[in-house]
Amino acid sequence: MLVRDGRMDNWNPYGSGPGQFGSIVPGVFTPVLAKHSKSFSLIDCISVGVDRMQRNFEPMRKQLEAWQRSELTDITAKLVIYEAFVEGRLEAPKHLARTVHDLYFEPKYDEFRPRTIWSLSNAFTSAFKELDPVPQFKATTKLGEFLEVRFSQSF
């Protein structure tokens, strides 16, 4: 069982050494082991985990709204795509650069027509759908970090 809790982050279900599981999604999920606990309550454990996850919804909602309001010039969007793929600041397959560009400048959905950080993020994540599940997950995880660092510098 996995819940968000930093107290047991050395457990690794894949057996490749302490801390390796946390490197998949740092600080997001850690296991709860209760083999010999008579007082362990699965319902209480899940309840605590869900509560902790819900506490993170508000900051995510605020970030989403800020990105939807943050307009980008075409030059800035092109520069971000260039930095991500050509300069290698984002760990993602470089062949997706053209797809990201096309999805941003010619979006498939009207919701993503405004030139915003949110639309650029959507272009990246839509392009990542071409990847197999594990590389897609890794690229998407790195994207959030990349965009936060990139745009925290410009505000």
- Of 111, 103, 107, 106, which is closest to residue 130 (Cα–Cα)? 103
Task: Enter the pTM of the model.
Answer: 0.65
pLDDT band at 37 (very low <50, low <70, confident <90, very high): low
For residue 39, the one-letter residue type is S
Q: What angle do CA 143, 144, 149 make, to 5 degrees?
A: 100
What is the average per-residue pLDDT within 103-130? 95
pLDDT digits (tens, 9 = 90+) for 46-64: 888 888 877 878 887 888 8
Domain locations along the chain: 2-55, 65-152
Sign of CA dihedral 64, 70, 72, 76: negative
Residue 2, pLDDT above cutoff 60: no
What is the average per-residue pLDDT within 118-133? 96
Q: What angle do CA 43, 44, 49 make, to 5 degrees?
A: 95
DSSP string, 21-86: GGGTSTTT-EE---TT-TT--HHHHHHHHHHHHHHTHHHHHHHHHHHHH-B--HHHHHHHHHHHHT
